[in-house]
A = this chain, B = another copy of it.
Amino acid sequence: MLYLIGLGLGDAKDITVKGLEVVRRCSRVYLEAYTSVLTVGKEALEEFYGRELILADREEVEQEADNIFKDADVSDVAFLVVGDPFGATTHSDLILRATKLGIPYQVIHNASIMNAVGCCGLQLYKFGETVSIVFWTDTWRPESFFDKVKKNRQNGMHTLCLLDIKVKEQSLENLIRGRKIYEPPRYMSVNQAAQQLLEIVQNQRARGEEPAITEETLCVGLARVGAKDQKIAAGTLQQMCTLDLGEPLHSLVITGGTLHPLEMEMLSLFSIPESHNINGL
């Protein structure tokens, strides 16, 4: 049996009791470490689980999952994913390949940012399509995701923006030269995401278009959701550019315009102190 087990969002103890039992009895346990991270590393997990974990990077999972699948038809193998296993599409693909090999699978769910984002007080059912904001480079500055934000806003829906993670990436030079030297991991902050968003707003204005959001649009920055030191801050997009939310992972929500009174009241718990009262926005 191939078990896909969600680890939740905080630390080692955010695994479910059921998940922990499976981890402890599987013959091999893989830790997927490229679509998200916990606030603790592999060693802390190994200590708490009382067993060794095998780090699985993108290459291993997406190309040569043979190691993962080996003997999974006759023994139990676990594949651990930060958040819930269905947060990233790459795990659906793993299930499809396992099924083709006749390997049965079972999923042990957990919290992911897709539902835990509700902790900011915005109502989950009012979220529209989720977008990903990637690190811009000098030559690659995609803006197309902004259409989805616009569509969500037009329909009064909030947009959860998942922020880029670069783990085990090679520099262009190392990639070309085939050198397996990896850059230090990078995690996009709410500041960086807000700055990129504002640049898109300015580009649209320069082209004579009316952007779907402005500097004054009410947003929510979230950091380390589910961890003891999580931070949530509600304020304008402009304020998101300079806000200090600390260590990764960060996420950003662009509100959908009109808010329910209960949403306003919840957001006011997280209002940036130096800002105007968010009710006045």
On A, residues with C-beta under 8 Å from B are 6, 8-18, 20-21, 84-87, 89, 92-93, 95-96, 99, 107, 109-112, 114-116, 118-119, 121, 123-132, 151, 155, 157, 162, 225-226, 260, 262, 265-266, 269
Contacts and interface: CB of A to CB of B under 8 A. Distances in A.
Contacts of A109: 8-9, 14, 111, 115-116, 119, 225-226
Contacts of A110: 8, 16, 110-111
How many copies of this chain does one complex carry? 2
A124 B115 CA distance: 10
Given A86-B115, A118-B86, A10 B18 contact: yes
Contact of A111 (B111, B123, B127, B155): B111
Nearest to A118: B86
B115 A128 contact: no
Contacts of A16: 8, 13-17, 110
Given A13-B16, A17-B20, A266-B96, A130 B124 contact: yes
B17 A14 contact: yes
Given A15-B17, A128-B129, 4 more contacts: A13-B18, A15-B16, A85-B118, A92-B123
A234 to B, nearest CB: 14
Nearest to A11: B18
